[in-house]
Chains A and B, each alone.
Chain A
Amino acid sequence: MRKFKWSNLYLILTFIVLYLPIGYLILYSFSEGERMTNYRGFTWRHYQELFADPRMIQIVLDTLIVALLSALIATIIGTLGALAINNTTRPSMRNTILSLNNILMVSPDVIIGASFLIFFTALRLPLGFTSVLLSHIAFSIPIVVLMVLPKLRELSGSLIDAARDIGASNVQVLKDVIIPFITPGIFAGFFMAMTYSLDDFAVTFFVTGNGFETLSVEIYARARQGISLEINALSGIMFLFALVLVVGYYFVQQGQSARKTKKRGVTR
């Protein structure tokens, strides 16, 4: 029993350390002062300033648009890519593609960012919204492929055989069997791609020009100039956003498994 308690203590400490900086940030977003030292009493002022800042709102909107669009396009391309990889019969070919995919996944983003900078400059493509969007799509595709492929592998060959045996054409097999089966993977891929895009700083930092900014780049620019409690207010909102997503996700999952066990209980 004693050992059990120690382990819990360790875990709780780890969590405190993990959440302390975030809590600290949010706490000071309500501080009457201008610096992240010496808490000075409660205020909503920084939030009000944030919402009254049209430049900030534009940046948030741009960030969301890039995230949604890049995730959507990457999901389509990535899913088609995963289908194609799954259809390659030669194992050597398939492994090569998968290795290339994995290399993209682990490459440091400075490398990806610098490569895209060189690439866009060589193409004489102006840096801005398009370059950011294109690079986000590019680094999201391998993520989608990685999320969709395992679902495709789970899909047993006999399931497809069965559909064909019953008379389904290739299109019908894809539409009625494959796509419904891999939908969870597609959603997971879309979700991950969006998270990566929202979170990305390094790649965007390299390929964004002067006119276009995402949240990460803006935060970096402001943080380099020093403390601004408007950023704290922003982090408060972003934390809330993440929290809602996590809680929602958790309850959806719990609900699903609860329903499953309940139904099973009825049949047995």
Chain B
Amino acid sequence: MAAPIVELRHVFKNYGDTTVLQDIDISLEAGKFYTLLGPSGSGKTTILRAIAGFLSVSGGDVMIAGQRVNDIPANQRDVNTVFQDYALFPHMDVFDNVAYGLRIRKVDKPAIMTRVQDALHMVRLDNLGDRMISELSGGQQQRVAIARAIVLEPKVLLLDEPLSALDAKLRQDMQYELRDLQQRLGITFLFVTHDQEEALALSDEIFVMNDGQVQQSGTPVDIYDEPINHFVADFIGQSNIVTGRMIADYRVQFNGKTFDCADAGMRPNEPVEVVLRPEDLDVTDLEHGKVAVRVDTQLFRGDYYEIVAYDDAQNEWLIHSTNPASEDGLVGLYFDPEDIHVMRFGESEEDFDARLESYEEE
């Protein structure tokens, strides 16, 4: 594994009595697309600002390219930021906005010319150099903000919820473009968002944040399929979460029945939470179903039906089904053993990873 380009070691941040970051350990490799995902107030933007140099951390080390940068001001760090509100200088035109950083670095004129044009070409804004910022659409302003940052050829580009001000359609287009841009530039992107779909679609690796802590990190598939706790399971995608009991390895009990599952490595009879994704539940008749539920409401969502049903214990079940169910009817729910994901209470990410490795190797 190559040396990390950005590393946070035991980073703390508090304002008086309020802790906003606790013991953050993050390491970013060169050339990958990372996402900090979490609800507002979870500390994700704080991490970004700590790396950019807009706030000093209360403890721990911030390392960029192997060098401790805690005391290096923002204007001397080799990272650049795309701001949520773009923060484009309203009194300069597009070209001057992009050229600003190069002029500060005293790059000579012809070089500025070519580099700004290259950057504008990169974000597909050729020929708009002499426009004022107020004359651009939101999507165009977004691109200028990106061009202004990448023209300086930073090792890491920090993006602070850059798509949140765009409408849904433009947002999707920009997601493709960002991913494409990152691959063409080959530099590290650290992307902050509260939109889990965006994070899943774009990232090589996601850090899920909550309460100033990294809850779980991993590839989108890992995080979706094997959430570490209730928060992650609930925040990423939609989930049915029920409490249960681990009878033995590969045997879990919930809803008064015992089921085969794919999880192991826990104490016998340990209380656990069980996650079942709505799309893993199949609606079938009562005989074939593993759980019996009564359909309550059903909404047509285009590519699937979203069904809300209740079992005898009044647990709510959310089901995504390609076929409609009969309303108010009793139906059975079927799922495979590997659709069940079991989560322990209060398990740390290290223990979680170790446990998964221990039985997956067998």
Contacts and interface: CB of A to CB of B under 8 A. Distances in A.
Question: Is A–B contact present in the complex under a CB 8 A cutoff?
Answer: yes
Interface of A: 156, 158-159, 161-169, 172, 176-177, 180-181, 260, 263-264, 266-267
Nearest to A177: B89
A159 B100 CA distance: 13
B224 interface: no
Nearest to B77: A165
Contacts of A260: 134
B135 interface: yes
A161 B148 CA distance: 13
B74 interface: yes
Contacts of B3: none
Nearest to B131: A267
Interface stretch (B80-88, B237-245, B261-269, B318-326): B80-88
Given A161-B74, A162-B87, A165-B52, A267 B101 contact: no
Contact of B81 (A156, A162, A181): A162
Contacts of B53: 164-165
B54 interface: yes
B148 A166 contact: yes
A56 to B, nearest CB: 44
A17 B337 CA distance: 90
B54 A161 contact: yes
Interface residues of B, number: 30
Contact of B75 (A158, A168, A180, A267): A168
Nearest to B52: A165
8 contacts: A161-B81, A165-B80, A165-B149, A166-B104, A168-B101, A267-B131, A267-B135, A267-B136
Contacts of B257: none
A154 to B, nearest CB: 10
Contacts of B90: 181
Contacts of A165: 52-54, 74-75, 80-81, 149
B52 A264 contact: no
A167 B105 CA distance: 8
B81 A167 contact: no
B139 to A, nearest CB: 13
Contact of A166 (B73, B80, B132): B80
A20 to B, nearest CB: 43
A176 B100 contact: yes
A163 B100 contact: yes
A159 B87 contact: yes
B87 A161 contact: yes
**Which 6 pairs across A and B sit closest by C-beta, in order of nearness?**
A166-B101, A162-B87, A158-B87, A164-B74, A180-B91, A158-B83
Contacts of B149: 165-166
A176 to B, nearest CB: 7
Nearest to B145: A162
Contacts of B148: 162, 166
B76 interface: yes
Q: Quick one: which of A165, A167, A180, A267 has the most chain B CB within 10 A?
A: A165
B156 to A, nearest CB: 12
Nearest to A181: B91
B125 to A, nearest CB: 13
Contacts of B83: 158, 161-162
B152 interface: yes
B89 A159 contact: yes
A168 B103 CA distance: 10
A168 B85 CA distance: 19
Contacts of B54: 161, 164-165
B100 A156 contact: no
Nearest to A161: B54
A155 to B, nearest CB: 10
B75 to A, nearest CB: 5
B81 A169 contact: no
B104 A168 contact: yes
A73 B6 CA distance: 49
Given A159-B89, A181-B91, 10 more contacts: A158-B87, A161-B52, A161-B74, A162-B88, A164-B73, A164-B74, A165-B54, A169-B104, A181-B90, A263-B132
